[in-house]
């Protein structure tokens, strides 16, 4: 089996390749990645020498390079995207180009090369925000209601993927996943930003009142869910993927980390809120559990500690990226 992975030099894509090469050691993987500010060869260093792995630097919007990369592949697993909501607020254009137009370019190539599966990795943010005071969760029937340029561009890409299935018969599957945490997550995202700030002796930054809720999933569980969908998922179907956290507000996540570092709440800095900040996400993952036998296995408490340890042991990886993240927050006034 030969798989084209897009965005495999980023957080989740690299964790997917690492997992796949280990579990299915006869399969070949081609990783097409533009190496934006979020993609790094340092992230793929531990598997870049694998004989079944090939890297191609290129943009998914470039149909020529996509055509070369997809040649002879059985499956496409599409991670490549602009992914940071704060960046989409200061500059939406690249989000539309990569997430929407780039997906269309890939879909066209997948149709003309007759790939056996096009798996699209998407987000729970396409469903908008849930009220804080509810027990409601997103499920596969929830209506789309994206509220940031990022989530709107991902929502558009989901619709395109389904449209290519209906119109051209492309064999697709989609997963919409909640917030991931774990190794190789960029220090501009919430949990790694706090961990790397605490290692550096800086305060953690909380947007607004800190009562916003995210559904946290350890990255390896996400990768296992994609594996389950690729092996057993039904063509044309969408599966929601979420974690084991029950409504943990951002402020509580910050307090857990402060405790792990032996610091007190004086190390919390409240900064201006994100524009249009979604209040609450929660995912009902019962469909993928019932139909494909997947459920999250890594609990938040234990794997947060392991994630902290990973960042402590791998500052060679995140230190060079921290400056870029800080520059973004200088621009947004959230430093
Ligand atoms: P990331 O930002 O860490 O990595 C994105 C990767 O895509 C980078 O390697 C980057 O270089 C590459 N890329 C960007 N634009 C490209 C282009 N035009 N052509 C080729 N490569 C390009 O992202 P991530 O957190 O690993 O997210 C991967 C996917 O999962 C995304 O589609 C995202 O929407 C989705 N997702 C992420 C999360 C999360 O919590 N991180 C949750 C749910 C879904
Ligand atoms: O829900 C899935 C989504 O999760 C993915 O689709 C996105 O690609 C991914 O970036 C993530 O989006 P969020 O916007 O939820 O993640 P982020 O890490 O940026 O922020 C998490 C929460 O923490 C959010 O409520 C904003 C808040 N926050 C974030 C940062 C960076 C802070 O309070 N302080 C911060 O410094």
pLDDT digits over 266-299, tens only?
999 999 999 999 999 999 999 999 999 999 999 9
pLDDT digits over 111-151, tens only?
999 999 999 999 999 999 999 989 999 999 999 999 999 99
Rounded average pLDDT over 63-77: 98
Judge if the beta carbon of residue 185 lies within 6 A of ligand 2.
no
Rounded to whole angstroms, how far apart are CA atoms 318 and 43? 10
Rounded average pLDDT over 321-331: 94
Token code pair at residue 238:
């969408």
CA distances from 127 to 146, 177, 193, 310 (A): 6, 11, 25, 32
Partners of 204 in beta bridges = 268
CA of 98 to the centre of ligand 1 (A): 10
Token code pair at residue 224:
């296992």
Rounded to whole angstroms, how far apart are CA atoms 331 and 90? 9
Residue 261 pLDDT greater than 90, yes or no: yes
Query: Which of 6, 9, 11, 218 for a ligand 1 pocket mutation test, highest count of atoms within 8 Å of Cβ?
Result: 11
Rounded to whole angstroms, how far apart are CA atoms 167 and 111? 11
Tell me which DSSP letter residue 84 carries: -
Q: Which residue has the tokens 């960029």?
A: 186
pLDDT at 245: 86
Quote the radius of gyration of the chain (alpha carbons, Å): 19
The question of whether 150 is a catalytic residue gets the answer yes
The dihedral over CA atoms of 258, 185, 244, 310, expressed in degrees to the nearest 10, equals -60
Rounded average pLDDT over 303-331: 96
Q: Which residue has the tokens 């340092």?
A: 42
Query: Which of 6, 38, 56 for a ligand 1 pocket mutation test, highest count of atoms within 8 Å of Cβ?
Result: 38
Assigned CATH topology for domain 2-180+216-241: Rossmann fold (3.40.50)
Rounded to whole angstroms, how far apart are CA atoms 59 and 224? 26
End-to-end Cα distance, the chain: 46
- Cβ atoms of residues 87 and 36 within 8 Å: no
Instruction: Please state, for a pLDDT cut of 70, what percent of the chain lies above it.
Output: 100
pLDDT at 55: 98
pTM summary value: 0.99
Rounded average pLDDT over 160-179: 98
Tell me which DSSP letter residue 141 carries: T
Can you give the residue ranges of every domain in the chain?
A: 2-180+216-241
């Amino acid at each position: 089996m030969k798989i084209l992975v897009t965005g495999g030099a980023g957080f989740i894509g690299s964790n997917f390749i690492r997992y796949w090469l280990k579990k299915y050691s006869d399969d070949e993987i081609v990783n097409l990645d533009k190496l934006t500010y979020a993609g790094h060869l340092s992230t793929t260093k531990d598997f870049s020498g694998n004989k079944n792995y090939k890297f191609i630097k290129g943009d998914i919007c470039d149909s020529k390079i996509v055509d070369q990369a997809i040649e002879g592949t059985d499956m496409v697993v599409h991670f490549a995207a602009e992914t940071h909501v704060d960046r989409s607020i200061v500059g939406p254009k690249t989000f539309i180009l990569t997430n929407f137009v780039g997906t269309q370019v890939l879909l066209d190539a997948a149709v003309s090369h007759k790939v056996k599966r096009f798996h699209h990795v998407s987000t729970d943010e396409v469903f908008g925000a849930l009220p804080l005071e509810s027990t409601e969760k997103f499920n596969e029937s929830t209506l789309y209601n994206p509220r940031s340029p990022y989530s709107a561009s991902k929502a558009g890409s989901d619709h395109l993927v389904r449209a290519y299935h209906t119109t051209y018969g492309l064999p697709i599957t989609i997963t919409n996943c909640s917030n991931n945490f774990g190794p190789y997550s960029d220090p501009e995202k919430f949990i790694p930003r706090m961990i790397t700030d605490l290692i550096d002796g800086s305060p953690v930054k909380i947007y607004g009142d800190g009562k916003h809720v995210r559904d946290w999933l350890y990255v390896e569980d996400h990768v296992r869910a994609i594996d389950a969908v690729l092996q057993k998922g039904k063509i044309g179907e969408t599966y929601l993927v979420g974690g084991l956290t029950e409504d943990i507000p951002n402020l509580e996540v910050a307090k857990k980390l402060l405790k792990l570092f032996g610091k007190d709440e004086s190390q919390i800095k409240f900064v201006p809120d994100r524009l249009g900040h979604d209040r609450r996400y929660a995912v009902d993952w019962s469909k993928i559990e019932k139909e494909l036998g997947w459920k999250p296995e890594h609990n938040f408490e234990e794997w947060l500690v392991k994630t902290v340890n990973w960042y402590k042991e791998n500052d060679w990886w995140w230190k060079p990226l921290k400056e870029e993240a800080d520059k973004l927050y200088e621009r947004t006034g959230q430093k």
